[in-house]
Amino acid sequence: MSEAVSRQPKRSRRGLILFAVVVLALVALVVVHLLTQKKPTRDVAPIVVTVASATLGSMPVTLSELGTVTPTATVTVLPQLSGYLTEVGYHEGQEVQKGQFLAQIDPRQYQISKQQAQATLAKDRASLAQARADLARFTQLNERKSIAQQTFEDQQFLVQQDEAAVKADLANIAQFDLDLTYCRITAPVAGKVGLRLVDPGNYVTASSSTGIVVITTIKPTTVQFTVPQDALASVVQRLNSGARLPVTAYSSDNAREVATGALYAVSNQMATSTGTVTLRATFANEDEALFPNEFVNVKLLVDTMQNAVLVPTPAVQTGAPGDFVYLVNANNTVSVHKVKLGPSDGKNTVILSGLSQGNQVVTDGTDRLNDGAKIQPAKPKPAAGTSGTTAAGAPDSGAASGAAEPAASEPAAGSAPAPASANAASS
C-alpha cells in the first residue's frame, strides 16, 4: 500500500517535467520562428521632382558694379578781377554754349586806366621821336668829329630807353584790354548752369573761391565704376583688341534701365586698399536721364560665350562636395554630380565641366533628395485656364493615392504572423 502511494507522486512529477519540456520546446520554436522570419520590406514611394535638360546656348559675360555719374567737365566760374557785379545774363538751370555771356563787372575804372596808359604811350612816343631826331643830327656831327664820342653814344642809349618805354606802354594797354575782356564774363565750356552764387550789386574779387556760377557738362556724360583685379585682365584684353564694350546703366534699385553707353577708359593705377581699378564709360545722355553725382548700377558686357552648356540656375546646389547638381539616371534615380560653374544671368548658369548637352538635372524638389534617391519627374503643367487642368491633375492624385495604398496595407501583412504564433502557443 505504501509502495503504490509513493509511485503516484513520481508519475505526477514526471508528467509535470514532460509538460514543462514540451512547453519550453514550443516557446523555443516560436522564438526561433520570430527571429528567423524576414521582415516585410516597405517600398519607398518615389519623390516627385521637376527636371530639366542641359542645353547649348550663348551666355553673356557681364560685370555688375556700382557706379557714379561723373560729368566730363565741372567748371566754377571765378572773377579774374575785382569790381561790382552789374549784370547777370543767364537763368538758373539754363543750357549755355561756350562763349555765351554770363555776367558783367563794372568796367569804368579799367577804361580810365587804359586811357591813362594810352596818354603815357603818346608821351613816350613823342620822346622817342625827339631822341631819334637828335640821334640823326649827332650822327652827322660825329662823322665830322664835331662832337664828343661820349655825347653820341649817350644819345644812342637814350633812343633805346625811349623805345623800351613805348613797348612798356603798349603792354600796359594790352593788359587793360584784357581786364576789360575779363569784365565781361563768358562761359568757358558748354553745359548747364547751376543756381546763382552771387547777385548783381555785390563786389566780387579775384581771390573769391565761391565763384559766380558752376557749369556742368551733362551731354555727353560719363559713369565711373570699379572692377576687381581678377576681372581686369579680360577687360583690358578686349579693350586693347579694339572691341567696343557696351555698358548699361540701371537705376539704384535696379528696377529700370537708364541709359546705354560704351567703355572708353581704364585708370592707370589700382587701389591697393580694395584691389580694384576704376573704369570710365561714356553716355550720350541726350535725354539727361543720368544726373551728375547720381549712383547707378552698371553692367559691363565683357564677352559672350558661345555653345556653352546651360542649366537652370535652381539646379545648381552648394554643399560639402562643393558645387553640384542632382543628375537624373536612366533608372529614375539621382546621383550627386560635381560641376564647375561659369557665369550666370540669373535664369541660367554655365557649366564649364561636369555635364554635357542632354543630361537631365533636378530643378525643383532638391531639398528632399539624397544620393541614390528614387524620383518621379513631374508632368509639365498645362496652360492656365484650359479644360485639361482637372484631367491632368486626376492621374497625379490617383498616383499619389495608389502609392499610399501599399504603405497602408503593409502593416496588416506584417501583423499576420502575430496571431499565428499566438495560436501555436495556445495549442
Does 399 map to a domain? no
Distance of alpha carbon 60 from the chain centroid: 14
Which residue bears the cell 603815357? 120
Examine the pLDDT at 40 and tell me if it is beyond 80. Answer: no
Residue 378 is predicted with a pLDDT of: 85
Q: Is residue 87 part of a domain?
A: yes
Q: Give yes or no: residues 82 and 200 share one domain.
A: yes
Q: Which CA distances in Å does 399 have to 45, 47, 189, 321, 394?
A: 10, 12, 76, 34, 8
Question: Which residues are CB-contacts of 71 (< 8 A; sequence separation ≥ 6)?
Answer: 191, 216, 217, 218, 221, 222, 292
Query: What H or E segment, with its residue span, contains residue 303?
Result: strand 295-312
Which domain-ending residue is among 192, 215, 238? 215
Secondary structure (3-state) at 187: coil
How do beta strands 375-377 and 47-53 pair? parallel
Q: How many structural domains compose the chain?
A: 3
- Does the residue 37 lie in any domain? no
Tell whether 8 is covered by a domain: no
* Interatomic CA distance for residues 369 and 90, integer angstroms: 71
Q: What is the pLDDT of residue 388?
A: 42
Mean pLDDT of all residues in the chain? 84
CATH of the domain at 318: 2.40.420.20
| Per-residue pLDDT, 39 | 59
Q: Stretch 240-256: mean pLDDT, rounded?
A: 92
CB of 91 closer than 8 Å to CB of 153? no
Same domain membership, residue 210 and residue 177: yes
Q: For residues 390 and 396, is the Cβ–Cβ distance under 8 A?
A: no
CA distance 1 to 334: 87
CA–CA gap between residue 218 and residue 322 (Å, rounded): 48
In a domain, residue 274? The reply is: yes
The range of the structural domain enclosing residue 161 comes to: 74-215
Q: Decide which of 280, 303, 326 is a domain's last residue.
A: 303
- In this structure, are 203 and 271 located in the same domain? no
Which CATH number belongs to the domain containing residue 102 in this structure? Answer: 2.40.50.100
Contact yes or no for 156/173 (Cβ under 8 A): no
Q: Are residues 275 and 324 in the same domain?
A: no
By CB atoms closer than 10 A (0-12, 13-18, 19+), residue 318 is exposed
Q: What is the DSSP string of 350-405?
A: EEEES--TT-EEEEE-GGG--TT-BEEEPPPPPPTT-THHHHHHHHHHHHHHHHHH
Cis peptide before 382 (omega within 30 of 0): no
Proportion of the chain above pLDDT 70, given as a percent: 84
Q: What is the CATH number of the domain that holds 245?
A: 2.40.30.170
Residue 142 has pLDDT above 80, yes or no: yes
Per-residue model confidence (pLDDT) at position 103: 94
Q: Which band of pLDDT confidence, cut at 50, 70 and 90, is reported for residue 9?
A: low
Residue 419 within a domain = no
Q: From residue 164, how far is each of 43, 171, 269, 344 by CA, in Å?
A: 116, 11, 52, 77
pLDDT in tens, 88-137: 999 999 999 999 999 999 999 999 999 999 999 999 999 999 999 999 99
Distance of CA 251 to the CA centre of its chain: 11
Does some domain include residue 364? yes
Same domain? For 245 and 165 the reply is no
Assess if residue 181 is contained within a domain: yes
Domain end, chosen from 175, 195, 215, is at: 215
- How far apart, in Å, are the Cα atoms of 126 and each of 43, 65, 114, 155? 125, 73, 19, 15
CA distances from residue 342 to 234, 304, 307, 316, 335 in whole angstroms, order as listed:
15, 12, 13, 11, 21
